[in-house]
A and B are shown apart, each in its own frame.
Chain A
Amino acid sequence: MEKLIEEHGLTFNRRRFLSRLSLGLGSAALGSLLIPDLFSGGAFDEDGLTPGIPHFAPKAKRVIYLFQNGAPSQQELFDYKPKLRDMQGQEIPPSVRGSQRLTGMTAGQSSFPLVGSFVDFKQYGQSRAWVSDLMPYTAGIVDDLCIVKSLYTEAINHDPALTFLQTGSQQGNRPSMGAWLSYGLGNENKNLPTFMVLLSRGIGNGQGVYSKLWTNGFLDSIHQGVQFSKGEDPVLYLRDPDGMDRKDRRDMLDNVAQLNELAYQEFGDPEIMAKVQQYEMAYRMQTAIPEVMDLSKEPDDIVKLYGPDCLVPGTFAANCLLARKLSENGVRFVQLYHQGWDQHGNLPFEIAKQAKDVDQASAALVTDLKQRGLLDETLVIWGGEFGRTSYTQGKLTADNYGRDHHPRCFTIWMAGGGIKPGIVYGETDELGYNISENPVHVHDFQATVLHQLGLNHEKLIYKHLGRRYRLTDVSGKVVNDLIS
């Protein structure tokens, strides 16, 4: 009997235990239903993304990025360091240089003498920003500019640094900033691509630009940057061949579309319909592109504003003017590259020429957008991929020197697009080597640009090969001090 009671107790306890356990586990499981990434890690809201529509009301609708390829020396343009002149020829203190990794070009150098700018600086505008005498036109618009002196990057060589700035990763194959914007914002003008690229070249030591910089990466190929060439056909393969008129083209497209429709019904591959759309866009571009590219109707004031080179195809000035026209016509992202800023040697001679190439037209673009009431909705960015050292590369002579790559600080400017005008943000130490105040990482810069376009950089995501990717990778925060 006793045994029976004991047995009953045990049975009762076991049953109780099991029922309680299942109840507890059940509740825990119910709770876990509300925690989507409890076992997957990394929180994000997949519902938050509707490609083609901004997350919140944007300040800027379009971007024009005047990329100064090769890395312009901030010490000769915007970052005024009189101390460098005082200490001309003296070694840079090791405490300042720290453990900075050097490029192969100066790693073997036994001495690192400081060198001051060969050119003088003055203060301009209400913001009293310092600008060198090499940039007189830019100096004239400082009150429209937000000059950021404290950008820094992780790479020390051109290609990785460029790729990092453009795609958020030093290795290639991720989508470029323009492709991300195309993906996030979609078309404004359905007759033109969302992302266009214009190249020009100065006389200075140049570094290559490659199509991987305007790649769509793993995004759909409609987000790829379309490169303009400076020849007779600005967009290749757009012109109808001789003997084919517009009606023939129409008929051909209609017939191909029918074939594609059949193929789509059979295979159901969405890429087929994407292709049909691409053909249609190209057809519309046949009339839109000549309308946009026609510089002959630009008034004389425009030629004086941008400088006479703006009518010479392939120059930076012409590209700036085209950029305005494309942007005005709803192209989301116009990317310019101007090569020739890599002044390892012969800096005074080369940088003066480079600055002359870009100064007037860059300032003109800002003025031109402003006088059309477009500056508030167009973000203009001017800058290179990193900075240059405050010590000389190679021999320091009375009138000649060079500067090597420097990732720890560099200067860019932005204008319009809801960025605070007339401010200088961030500061470097008096030798211009380290940032002393308000550092802005490349990812912070990218996050800020996306923010101005109404995109949350943490939500602009694309899932590829099992990983979710962002332009800002896994970091970056919006720099609120730059936003008006």
Chain B
Amino acid sequence: MSSCTIYKRELSSYFSQPTAYAIIVIFLLFSLGLTFTFGEFMRVGDSSLEWTFIFWHPWVYMLLAPAVGMKLWADEQRTGTIELLGTFPLSTWSAIIGKYLAAATVWLIALVLTFPIVCTVNYLGSPDNGAILSGYIGSFLVCCTFLAITMLVSACTRDQVVCLIVSVSICVLVLLCGYDPVTRELSKVLPPSIFEGVVALGIWDHFSSLSSGIFRLKDFIWFGSIISVCLLGTNAILSSKRA
């Protein structure tokens, strides 16, 4: 119940200010812009959207997802409203869930608004819509993971700029350390055991299997565990800060 109240407040806060609109518009411009330029949508004829469209999402998220999540706790701590939340009869956990879901909803709306490209491929060809849906799920899970990382960083600082810089850096690392061209280079310089550890932290393997339409339980477990760890970490940090 209280999670729901927090969720509604956070969501309306995103839309009563320019934040959500700016993020959604920039996401649409970038994701579709990349599809038609570097993705070579018109030349390749990829109706599954895997390489021309979904492929670009994580690159846009790594910069924009932290922009949505950075205020979640940093702002509460800067303005002191965390003291109000902390003295209301609700658990820190329900505030975390409410805030997290609100930020995820902003991204869900942004993703839904890319529907014209799905209509386009259905009009131009006969794609496997199941694979497209799977790609969207993969894309959304990557975004949720980046949001969870941002939320964890946001709990550590009251400065939104610091939160943005640190979160973007972590997201870039998580994305790059599983990306093929980078892993190839890493395999040459790192000892095998460390290399495997680094690659296991990378998001790319889990994203690419979903974006090519393959549902593997281990990918969902990976996304689920990273998100849970970040949210549990947020709870631990917020509690320890008060002690």
Do A and B actually bind?
no
